[in-house]
Copies of this chain bind each other. A is one copy, B any other.
């Protein structure tokens, strides 16, 4: 475990925020200014591969990273992109797997809304 990887992991593990690679890069550079962007991406990839963190692909926006290891749905603000974890509903995959007769390997469920902060800031007519 290199210092770089530990630092990147710590940033993700320290808070429930679902940060982008760029945000993680900025936070990490505050402590290790020589850190390269490529190192952040590579280590995020390795941490994901090893199951230590989870990658969240966002619609029309950079990916975000989640310290929560187990699969669960996410509540995503359509306006600002903020992501919240939701509790995993029981039997979601099982229901579909049974209905289709297929073996599922995972799922990705995003629920979209407009968060209170964004609802405040006028939007249409």
Residues of A near any B CB (own CB < 8 A): 55, 57-60, 73, 75, 78, 86, 89, 93, 95-96, 100, 102-114
Are A110 and B108 touching (Cβ within 8 A)?
A: yes
Interface of A is mostly: mixed
Copies in the complex: 2
Q: How far is the CA of A1 from the CA of B93 in the complex (A)?
A: 41
Bound form: Cα–Cα A84–B106 in Å? 15
Chain B residues within 8 Å of A75, by CB: 96, 100, 102
Q: A57-B57, A60-B57 are in contact. Are A105 and B109 (CB under 8 A)?
A: no
Interface residue from B89, B102, B109 paired with A107 (Cβ < 8 Å): B109
Complex Cα gap A112–B59 (Å) = 17
Shortest Cβ distance from A84 into B: residue: B100
A113 touching B108 in the complex, CB below 8 Å, given contacts A57-B59, A73-B96, A95-B89: no
Instruction: Determine if B108 and A108 form an interchain contact, defined as CB atoms under 8 angstroms apart.
Output: yes
CA distance A98 to B60 in the complex (A): 28
19 A–B contacts, CB within 8 A, in A order: A55-B59, A57-B59, A57-B60, A59-B108, A73-B96, A75-B96, A75-B102, A78-B105, A89-B95, A89-B96, A96-B111, A102-B113, A104-B113, A105-B114, A106-B111, A107-B112, A108-B108, A108-B112, A109-B110
